[in-house]
Chain A
């Protein structure tokens, strides 16, 4: 039975009703304030850092060592450049980018030699790195690639944090040119130092695939469009990604049917490792292991024109 209209409202009732109305208004107003224009336009994509250390004329731009032990070759080459302490400071985080693209065993020379990667990890840790990450975006199934290449086991045993492709977070980055709009591995952008360690291989389009081409492995979906202007894209990536150190693994090289090979007939044991701060020079040295003169590679010429380095093989210090 309803109350008659002229029922006098009590003070308590009035307070309650005012409070309830006020609360409701406050909730709606607060919510509106909170959600108002919440989703702004995307913040601009982060740019790729420059991971290089300052140039030192006392050290050569690249050094190469040969011998039966790949780890020893690496150590000698890095020592000739001033030792890992020149590149990695105590407490820094390092990202090592080997080639772990293919479901192949080490003897097939499709991925970087696991001993070279493991030794690189050890050198970084000895120089005081607080965190060493080893990763790549594989072309074949990443679990198989990381396992069968031996890199997961070797790098893990050496104390690295191995991150397989499917666990990587990707973020947009401010890339220009052909790679504009592609995403990049987030871990890469967060690292203090980056070491690029490709393996020397034949490639049908660019003739060889070495350090600058290895940057394909940090790009997200859509990188299969870059082949349409491959030499230019390699030079652009070389300009965008400037690593602390480039290590060229020529323990075994892939002579033909690259970049993944398959048959042992495509493999040649060269048993050498080179390291350097000049990406172009390192790639030139790697190409020479396959018998290509620097002048015969268009992407090297484009990279030189951009001022990324000099492909003068005489500048490589042979240890």
Chain B
């Protein structure tokens, strides 16, 4: 194995380890200022998607330009050297499937339907232009992160419980298992990031060149080809992962990776059908608003849709959220969960706060700190808790269920919710009454009442209420700071 190939394997191993380690540290609440979001900041799919959907490129995502420039120089090196999901698939392909040479040739053949990933990209970008950001569904970085958050961390001792996480985990598993049959099938056929990089790779300054007449058609180059880009035939630079296995294996010295190598002749039948491309784009442009409207319309506030503190108003939020699950992993109380139905079709897998599972720690601002696209803005503790004089950030309001609450309905003292309320003065205040119980005995009760001007909707009251799974005090989204229309109190400050 040449040094270049050794280095490539080293790069892949290091970046996979780094990706996993950073997310593990994030989920463990590591207090250090580690670059948890670095991978996502360089993600061109996220950058282009958010720019199309929101009309603006959020600050840190400008690093994605660096990756695009890298691709313009070297080709799809990200796919071959960096992408952790790619590495994972390769591990699966290598570990679980010793192949005969004939099999290797078969599986690494380019298939015409691999153009699907470009149609997917077109559909996703068209949907983004229509205002619906769904690139996160198939973005490999987001996909891998979600799979970890929904499936792997819950497996470990002390890990969170993520109901509905089986979906994201199954997707990840399916991709890894599929690679056993056709190596890196996801990368070749479905990955929109790969398709995007492939577009830029067409202009790459360095590419594989097959020069000279020495080629004996031994096909050694194809046995280990990762991108299925046919180094033996018309080398498709848009598919090439620059793994350099082919240049390494070529015994005749015909293949090399060169600067300003002449481009391979265009294939007789173009890979991309203009019809399908246009069809995907137009289809998405139509489907996106259709699904939006069918889902109840965007901007319609939903009582159970409690977003993280600092989240933008729903329309802007959906234009930026790439469903990467970083906020869910960063949340110290595991309050954030991937929405399945509660945020509509568009909001699938976006983060929603479930008070029965976890509450929003009053002084904590982790979610906004790690959101790579600014869908959740970064807050300071002083701003979030209202120490700077302006009102605190609210995500909802708590409502007491008088039919279930012990002091209200069962002549039994409690006040756990008031005890847990973190604001000062407390948003839950106690009304003292004396009631006679069933045996005509006077019982002094303190009945909890919520002050909507003070309640921030953190949900610790609902989380700690002893009245079983349907708590006697529950938070709903009305009163949230981010939506001026989702209000019930006239005097409530914005």
Do they bind each other?
Answer: yes
B250 at interface by CB-CB < 8 Å: no
By beta carbon, the residue of chain A nearest B415 is A205
Answer whether residue A243 sits at the interface, using C-beta atoms and an 8 A cutoff.
no
> In the complex the two chains form, is A103's CB within 8 Å of B424's CB?
no
Does the CB pair B419–A204 fall under 8 Å? Answer: yes
Is A230 in contact with B413, judged by CB distance below 8 angstroms?
Answer: yes
Q: B419–A205 contact, CB under 8 A?
A: yes
Is B412 at the interface (CB under 8 A from chain A)?
A: yes
Whether B415 contacts A227 by the Cβ 8 Å rule is yes
Q: Nearest Cβ distance between residue B456 and chain A, in whole angstroms?
A: 12
CB-CB contacts of B414-442 with A at 8 A, as 1s and 0s?
11101110111110001000000000000
B423 with A262: CB separation less than 8 A: yes
Q: A204-B418, A205-B419 are in contact. Are A257 and B424 (CB under 8 A)?
A: yes
Smallest CB-CB separation from B358: which chain A residue?
A141
A292 at the interface (CB under 8 A from B): no
Chain A nearest CB: distance from B2 CB in Å?
Answer: 47
Whether the pair A227, B413 counts as a contact (CB closer than 8 A) is yes
Q: Do A262 and B422 contact each other (CB < 8 Å), given the known contacts A141-B332, A205-B413?
A: yes
Residues of A within 8 A of B419 (CB): 203-205, 227, 259-260
Interface residues of A in 242-268 (CB under 8 A from B): 257, 259-263, 265-266
Name the interface residues of A43-92: CB closer than 8 Å to any CB of B: none
Contacts of B420-477 to chain A: CB distance below 8 A: 420, 422-426, 430, 446, 460, 464-466
Q: At the interface, yes or no: A306 with Cβ under 8 Å from chain B?
A: no
- A263–B420 touching, CB < 8 Å: no
Q: Is B363 an interface residue (CB 8 A)?
A: yes
Inter-subunit contact A224/B464 (CB<8 Å): yes
Instruction: Assess whether B446 is in contact with A204, with CB atoms less than 8 Å apart.
Output: yes
Is A17 close to B, CB under 8 A?
no
Which residues in B have their C-beta under 8 angstroms from that of A227?
A: 413-416, 419
Q: Which residues of B contact A261 (CB under 8 A)?
A: 424
| Pair A143/B332 contact, Cβ less than 8 Å | yes
Tell me, in angstroms, the Cα distance from A104 to B424 when the chains sit together: 12
Work out how many contacts link A and B, with CB atoms closer than 8 A.
Answer: 71
Measured in the bound complex, the distance between the Cα atoms of B415 and A203 in whole Å is: 10
Interface size classification for chain B = 20 to 34
Residue B31 interfacial (CB < 8 Å): yes
Categorize the interface residue count of chain A: 20 to 34
Q: Which residues in chain B, 349-368, are within 8 Å of chain A measured between CB atoms?
A: 361-364
Bound complex: CA A164 to CA B419 (Å): 22
B158 lies within 8 A of chain A by Cβ = yes
Do B158 and A166 have beta carbons less than 8 Å apart?
Answer: yes
B361 and A103 contact, CB distance less than 8 A: yes
Contacts A141-B332, A203-B419, A204-B430 hold; do A228 and B424 have CB atoms under 8 A apart? Answer: no
CB distance from B417 to the nearest CB of A (A): 10
> Chain B CB within 10 Å — which of A103, A227, A259 has the most?
A227
- With a cutoff of 8 Å between Cβ atoms, the chain B residues found around residue A230 in the complex are 413
Alpha-carbon separation in the docked complex, A227 to B413 (Å): 7
Q: B464 contacts which chain A residues (CB < 8 A)?
A: 139, 224
> Given A141-B333, A147-B31 in contact, is the A263-B413 Cβ separation under 8 Å?
no
Q: Which of A139, A225, A228 touches B420 (beta carbons < 8 Å)?
A: A139
Give bound CA distance, A174 to B332, whole Å.
Answer: 33
Residues of B within 8 A of A144 (CB): 29, 332, 361, 363-364
Q: Which residues of A contact B425 (CB under 8 A)?
A: 257, 263
Instruction: State A205–B416 Cα separation when bound (angstroms).
Output: 9
| Pairwise interchain contact A103-B362, C-beta atoms closer than 8 A | yes
A140 CB–B CB distance under 8 Å: yes
CB distance from A110 to the nearest CB of B (A): 10
CB of B406 within 8 A of chain A?
yes
Which chain A residues border B414 with CB–CB below 8 Å? Answer: 227-228
The answer to whether residues A140 and B416 also contact, given A225-B466, A262-B423 and a CB cut-off of 8 A, is no
Report the Cα distance A265→B361, complex, angstroms. 21
Q: CA–CA, A147 to B422, complex, Å? A: 18
- Residues of B within 8 Å of A131, CB to CB, are none
Q: Which residues of A contact B422 (CB under 8 A)?
A: 103, 140, 260, 262
0/1 interface trace, chain A 254-285, chain B, CB 8 Å (1 if under): 00010111110110000000000000000000
Report B157 CB to chain A, min CB distance, Å.
Answer: 10
Are A262 and B424 in touch, CB under 8 angstroms?
yes
Q: Which of A135-155 contact B (CB under 8 A)?
A: 139-141, 143-144, 147-148
Residue of B nearest to A254 (CB): B424
Q: Are B415 and A103 in contact (CB under 8 A)?
A: no
Please report the C-alpha to C-alpha distance between residue A103 and residue B359 in the assembled complex, in whole angstroms: 13
Contacts of A225 in B (CB 8 A): 466
Q: Considering the complex, give the chain A residue whose CB is closest to the CB of B332.
A: A141
Specify which of B361, B413, B418, B466 is in contact with A224 (CB 8 Å cutoff): B466
A212-240 Cβ-contact flags toward B at 8 Å (1 or 0): 00000000000011011110000000000
Smallest Cβ-Cβ distance to A105: which chain B residue: B363
Question: Is A143 a contact partner of B446 (Cβ separation < 8 A)?
Answer: no
Give the distance to chain A from B367, nearest Cβ to Cβ, in Å: 13
Q: Which of B339-386 contact A (CB under 8 A)?
A: 361-364, 385
Whole-angstrom distance between the alpha carbons of A77 and B466 in the complex? Answer: 40
Minimal Cβ-Cβ distance residue in A for B429:
A204
**Pairwise interchain contact A229-B466, C-beta atoms closer than 8 A:** no
Chain B residues lying within 8 Å of A166, measured Cβ to Cβ, are: 158
CB of B83, distance to nearest CB on chain A (Å): 32
Binary CB contact string for chain B from 380 to 420 against chain A (1 if under 8 A, 0 otherwise): 00000100000000000000000000100000111110111
The residue of chain A having its C-beta at the shortest distance from the C-beta of B385 within the complex is A262
Residues of B within 8 A of A104 (CB): 363
Q: Are B413 and A228 in contact (CB under 8 A)?
A: yes
Q: A228-B412, A229-B413 are in contact. Are A103 and B446 (CB under 8 A)?
A: no
B interface, CB within 8 angstroms of A? 29, 31, 158, 332-333, 361-364, 385, 406, 412-416, 418-420, 422-426, 430, 446, 460, 464-466
- Ranked 8 nearest A-B pairs via Cβ: A262-B424, A263-B424, A141-B332, A224-B466, A257-B424, A224-B416, A143-B29, A205-B415
Taking beta carbons and an 8 Å cutoff, which residues of A are in contact with B?
103-104, 139-141, 143-144, 147-148, 166-167, 203-205, 224-225, 227-230, 257, 259-263, 265-266
5 residue pairs A–B, Cβ–Cβ below 8 Å = A139-B464, A141-B332, A144-B332, A260-B420, A265-B424
